Chains A and B, each alone.
Chain A
Amino acid sequence: MDQASTLSSTSRLSRTEPTRREKARGAGGQVLLYLILITLAVVMMFPYYWMLVNSLKGPRGFTANPYSLVPDTVSFDSLTYVWSTGRIGIYLKNSFIYAAVVLVAQTTINSLAAYAFSRITFPGRDTLFIVVLATMMLPYSVLLIPTYLIIWRFGLANTVPGVVLPGFASAYGIFMLRQFFLNIPMELEDAARIDGCNRLRIYAQIILPMAQPALITLGMFIFMSEWSSFTWPLVVLSDWKKYPITVGLSLFRDEQSLYWDRTFAASLIATLPLVLLFFAGQRYIVGGISLTGLKG
């Protein structure tokens, strides 16, 4: 999915030959360019580095020298302390459960709908699809209160289903998968249908395997946004044993603002899974983002 690099390398070949003056400017330009890029990279990475270093100083080391860029002695005391309270483990487990449930539900529900919208002709299909797209226009802000009231009316406030159900279908996911499904050749399906496959088998055995990259991209987006979501669980949950890591972390602000080293340690634990996921699936994520901006 790395269009940027492939395109630019070919474009450099097809450009007119630069003059000598341009070459000289180019070399100097590259130096300046890297100076800017590296400076900004430091600015971007600094808070992360900071989080890491201060998690490893230990409570004593941090109090003694909160500003040092390198820990005098590496100590895991802050991390073990935060972990030993037992709360972080519960928060992490909750976050994983919420993100995993929404991930499975959304990929299934959205891909079923996307399949119908892209490949089955049925009365009212286009009207339905336009309605689905229109819901993308509704700001989260307007939906927050009524969503809470609906969940509360169903008796699901402060429950696991209450947290995950509103995220089970997303217009954006349906739209994205539909775009992808439209590009899968119809002939594949026709052949299968002649062989007597029903719709469900075609969807499960032809379309889903073909759409794997799109499903992985969508899956990553879902997982990351669920893991990071804060406002909804904050609103719907009241029992700390059900808090995801984001809401759990926000308690550190009040309870432990005097113990910054613990806050850093907990933040590090909360961020690590996402960073690992990002490095594992970077291709999919960056590719997916490039798509939203242009083809949207």
Chain B
Amino acid sequence: MATETYSAGRTEVRVRPPLWKQPRKWIAGYIFTAPAITFIVIFSIISIIVSLYISFFQYDVISEHSPYVGLGNYREALFEDDLFWRALKNTFLYVLGVVPAITVFGFLLALIGYKARHGRSFFRTVYFLPSITPMVVIALIWMWLYSPKGMLNEMLASVGIRGPNWLFDRHLALPSVMVMSVWQAVGYYTVIYLAGLADIPPDFYDAARVDGASWWQEVRYVTVPLLRNVTLFVTVTLAIGAFQVFTQVYIMTRGGPGTATATLQFIIFRNAFQYFRMGYAAAISWLLFIAIFVLAMIQLRLNRSERIF
């Protein structure tokens, strides 16, 4: 009821609301955003402060007092904890393996799929299915594929090769998890690349064709450069996700054999919720955050310097 209209003979007249009703205009803005802001403040902003705060304490939830240790937790992780370095190395291997593989396969698959004249939406659905399946389900099924008497070894046996024990071999466990992760994520990024391909104006290809460009030259000098922003988006989001890999490792290998598949998120989880070393775990999570941040910055910098591939 802020404004009223009535016909005064010929023209419509808008009556301005009295002044005391004016502020309501912007009070509505606060009322509408209040619920969302409340949750974001509690679970993002206060969370971050709590996380940083406890990373300077030896905090274990249970004991009465939590001594202040300053940078002690960080020092312990960086200089005294071999497992931290092992996990950092595993995590980096995982990121450096999985991110380029998913990006390249996703791009190539989109390129091929885009050229298909029929059934494009069928293939898109099939490739997309793994990315909507709960990771727990995928990890369980692949555990069976990888198991000593699983499908993979059965296939190898049929051509006379004795398959290894994939998830219990120090050198094969991490690559096995990586292969599964690539299989799981490729379809999602194919869909993103397909949308990118659809956005390229055909004139570019016409021009390339007039100049007699081969298929490979078209891809190299037209498609890849024009999709640069999509590629940046894909690699950055993938890297951020890959750095925090947890569910696959937790279900399939529990960080084993030994420490072969212990990732940063896995040791954070273990320290926080099994050993209750919350402060120490929080410190490691900040080191992980720094690693993500540095890599993202490098990616953005590379993107500016003209050469991605």
Contact (Cβ within 8 A) A196 B4:
yes
Q: List B contacts of A5 (CB < 8 A).
A: 120-121
Complex Cα distance, B59 from A149, in Å, reads 11
A30-B117, A196-B3 given; A44·B130 CB < 8 A: yes
Interface code B114-127, partner A: CB below 8 Å = 1, 0 otherwise?
Answer: 11110011011111
B44's partner among A143, A144, A198 (CB-CB below 8 A) is A143
Question: How far is the CB of B154 from the nearest CB of chain A, in Å?
Answer: 5
A7's partner among B117, B154, B187, B198 (CB-CB below 8 A) is B198
The reply to whether the CB of B265 lies closer than 8 angstroms to some CB of chain A is yes
The reply to whether the CB of B85 lies closer than 8 angstroms to some CB of chain A is no
Task: Give the interface residue-count category, chain B.
Answer: 35 or more
Contact (Cβ within 8 A) B36 A132:
yes
The reply to whether the CB of A98 lies closer than 8 angstroms to some CB of chain B is no
The reply to whether the CB of B132 lies closer than 8 angstroms to some CB of chain A is yes
The reply to whether the CB of A253 lies closer than 8 angstroms to some CB of chain B is yes
Contact (Cβ within 8 A) A145 B285:
yes
A145's partner among B5, B205, B247, B268 (CB-CB below 8 A) is B268
Interface code B99-117, partner A: CB below 8 Å = 1, 0 otherwise?
Answer: 0000000000100111111
Closest residue to B39 on the A side, CB-wise?
A: A169
Contact (Cβ within 8 A) B278 A149:
yes
Q: List B contacts of A145 (CB < 8 A).
A: 51, 54, 268, 272, 278, 281-282, 285
Question: How far is the CB of A68 from the nearest CB of chain B, in Å?
Answer: 11
A253-B143, A263-B144 given; A113·B127 CB < 8 A: no
Question: How far is the CB of A56 from the nearest CB of chain B, in Å?
Answer: 15
The reply to whether the CB of B92 lies closer than 8 angstroms to some CB of chain A is no
Interface residues of A in 251-279 (CB under 8 A from B): 252-253, 260, 263-264, 267, 270-271, 274-275, 278-279
Complex Cα distance, B265 from A135, in Å, reads 20
Could you list 13 examples of A-B contacts with CB < 8 Å?
A4-B197, A44-B183, A47-B141, A48-B133, A67-B151, A108-B35, A112-B36, A122-B29, A142-B288, A193-B2, A263-B144, A282-B125, A293-B193
Q: List the interface of chain B (C-beta within 8 A of A).
A: 1-5, 14, 25-30, 32-33, 35-40, 42-48, 50-51, 54, 61, 109, 112-117, 120-121, 123-130, 132-138, 140-145, 149, 151, 154, 183, 187-188, 191-199, 202, 205-206, 209-210, 229-230, 233-234, 240, 243-244, 246-247, 250-251, 264-265, 268-269, 272-273, 278, 281-282, 285-286, 288-289, 292
